[in-house]
Amino acid sequence: MKVLFPALRVAHLDTSLAFYRSVGFEVVGQVGGGDSTRMAMLALPDENEVSLELVCSGAPGPVAPGGLDHLAVQVDDLAATRADLAAAGIDVGPVEAPGGLDGPHTASLVDPDGYHLELVQWPPGHPTGMMRADFEPATRTPPTDNTTEVTR
């Protein structure tokens, strides 16, 4: 078994698609339900598998995000990604180092429906993704005094 992807409920599919395209996602396909529900399957450019589904029920009114804390998205160059998003008119929070200076660097942003995204740049030489070894005491680097806490 493995987790396939999260599905986020959105108020306006086209508005959310524009936002997620600006972040770097590509639309793999769209599906319409038997009612007014529309769904879009997204992936990042180097991914073969869908990594995010957006679901719009067609019901009027805002979506109340709940239960999901954030969606983590790996980036190769956090500074360049932040600059690209700022140029697209998307507000991105400051760079933080929740695991200390030698750990990953992150920045947060919020989509049109209020979901939090966390952009993550791994340190040089770190494998893609968060690994079990990141939590093993022999391989884990303890946080430094520069650790910051992400608040949402």
Domain ranges within the chain, ordered by starting residue: 1-59, 69-145
DSSP secondary structure of 6-59:
-EEE-S-HHHHHHHHHHHT-EEEEEEE-SSS-EEEEEE-TT-SS--EEEEE---
- CATH fold of the domain at 1-59: 2,3-Dihydroxybiphenyl 1,2-Dioxygenase; domain 1 (3.10.180)
Spans of the chain, pLDDT less than 70: 1, 3, 33-34, 137-152
Look at residue 138 in the predicted model and tell me its pLDDT.
53
Single-letter amino acid code for the residue at 137: P
Assessment of whether the complete model's pTM goes beyond 0.75: no
Q: Is the CATH number 3.40.50.1000 carried by domain 69-145?
A: no
> Structure tokens of 43?
């992936």
